[in-house]
Structure formats: C-alpha cells, structure tokens
Amino acid sequence: MTQTWYDLLFVHWPIDASSLRSLVPSFLEIDTFDQTAWIGVIPLGMRNIHFKNLPPIPFTSRFLELNVRTYVRSGEKRGVYFFSLDAANPLAVEVARGCYYLPYFNARMTHSCKGEDIVYKSERTDHRGRPGVFDASYRPIAEPQLTGKGSIEEFLTERYRLFTSTKTGEPLIAEIHHKQWALQVAQAEIRSNSMTEALGIKLPDVAPLLHFAKELETLEWAIERVGN
C-alpha cells in the first residue's frame, strides 16, 4: 500500500519503560535511548492511499490520523508499537482493524491553517476506546535537516516496521519503506491532550520534543507473522 503523510507533528515525551510494560505485548522489548523509553503523540494527514497497482478504495484515499506510539524491538528488529490510531474515516478504521489488526478508532477531526500555524483537533467518538482529545496549533521554526546517525531524532522517527498482534496474541509485523526523514524543529501550543490518559499513562511534567515534517511518501507491505 502507498501513502503520503503530510503536516506531521512529532510530539515526544521521555517515560519510564516500566510504565509501558503492561501495555506492550510480551514478545516485544521496549526500546530505549540512553536507557529512557519514549511515548509519542503524532497528528498528521494522509493522502494518495491505495494498494499498489490498484485504484484507490472509494472514500478511503485521504483522511486525518492521530496516533499514540512507543518504540520496540523483536530481536534485532526495531519498530513502532501503536497504542491507538484515531482516524476521521469510518471505512478506513474498519479496514485497518480487520486487515492490519491495529487499534484504530473513529474520531471527529479537523485540520486547518491559521496564518503560519496548522490547527489540528481530534475528539474520539468510538466507544471501543476510552475518550481522547487532542487540540493544538503548530508550525516549523527551522530549516529541514536529515536525521543524524545515532541522534534522538533518528531513534524516534527512522522506524521501518510496525508490530501488532491478533486477538489471540499471535505476533505480527509489517515493513514500511520511505526516504530518510527531513525534520524541522517545531513549536506548538497544545491546548488539550488526553490521548495518553486514555491508556492510563501520566505524562512527565517536562516540555516535549517537537519536530515537524511537511510531507513523506511511504510504502507499506502486507502484515505477516513475526519470524516469517
């Protein structure tokens, strides 16, 4: 499947790995940077979504998404583990739940521009998950730079696979291909964020790391069993 991600804001907080352990499947190790785990809340837009060599599925080729995630390992394979993915497209939510076994939820979402700011709002409407709200304005404040080898930016964003599991706990993996991220330092006014509270996670009282990316084309491979 191909996707183009746009107007991403990476919002990351350091967090004790032990507070995430019960939320992550046992077949995965929680990945750390300088012995610290990280949790991210990432609002973005998605467009040009379609299965390779096939036309777009009607009404699912463009929508907004907000994901909450951490970083994990399975052996030598590093990847992303999603706690939740909210989307403003009910059909896409059900397709992703059924085909990728990902914890997608329906949400009421808006994306607009106010001067140089991107204004992004999301409110979960899906009763399969606890309530969650995100309301922020953000903008880049520096020129784009490729992620540096061994940097925190590389650790947080250069992740080329996702992990999930079936309802019976069977480990699954999907590969993701894209060019190296060109990130911009960002500033944000976060007026409301209860996305991690929905997981029972209390964020530390520190300023988050903020990075912006204007656009990135990606290729997602089919989900398969870990170890295949």
Number of Cβ within a 10 Å radius of residue 152: 17
The Cα–Cα gap between 153 and 155 comes to 5
Q: For 2-225, which CATH superfamily applies?
A: Acetoacetate decarboxylase-like (2.40.400.10)
Contacts of 22 (CB under 8 A, 6+ apart): none
pLDDT tens, the chain, 228 aa long: 788 999 999 999 999 999 999 999 999 999 999 999 999 999 999 988 766 665 666 556 679 999 999 999 999 999 999 999 999 999 889 988 988 899 999 999 999 999 999 999 999 999 999 999 999 999 999 999 999 999 999 999 999 999 999 989 899 999 999 999 999 999 999 999 999 998 999 999 999 999 999 999 998 888 998 876
C-alpha distance from residue 144 to each of 2, 135, 148, 183, 194 (Å)? 23, 25, 12, 5, 29
Residue position matching structure tokens 């990847």: 79
The token pair that represents 38 in the structure block = 């990280």
CB 47 within 8 A of CB 6: yes
CB environment 163-192: b (16+ within 10 A), e (fewer): bbbeeeeebbbbebeeeebebbebebebee
Q: Where are the beta strands (DSSP E) in the chain?
A: 2-15, 29-30, 37-50, 63-74, 77-87, 104-114, 117-124, 133-140, 145-146, 161-165, 171-178, 182-193, 209-220, 224-225
Q: Which of 153, 104, 114 is nearest to 136 (CA)?
A: 114
- Stated as kind and residue range, the H or E segment containing 152 is helix 152-157
219 beta partners: 2, 177
C-alpha distance from residue 170 to each of 164, 165, 211, 226 (Å)? 9, 5, 34, 8
Q: pTM of this prediction? A: 0.94
Residue position matching structure tokens 């521009």: 113
Tell me the CB-side half-sphere exposure of residue 170, using CA atoms within 13 A.
11
Q: What is the structure's pLDDT at 58?
A: 58
The token pair that represents 219 in the structure block = 């290729």
CB 97 within 8 A of CB 104: yes
Using CB atoms within 10 Å of the CB of residue 210, give its burial: 0 to 12 exposed, 13 to 18 middle, 19+ buried: buried
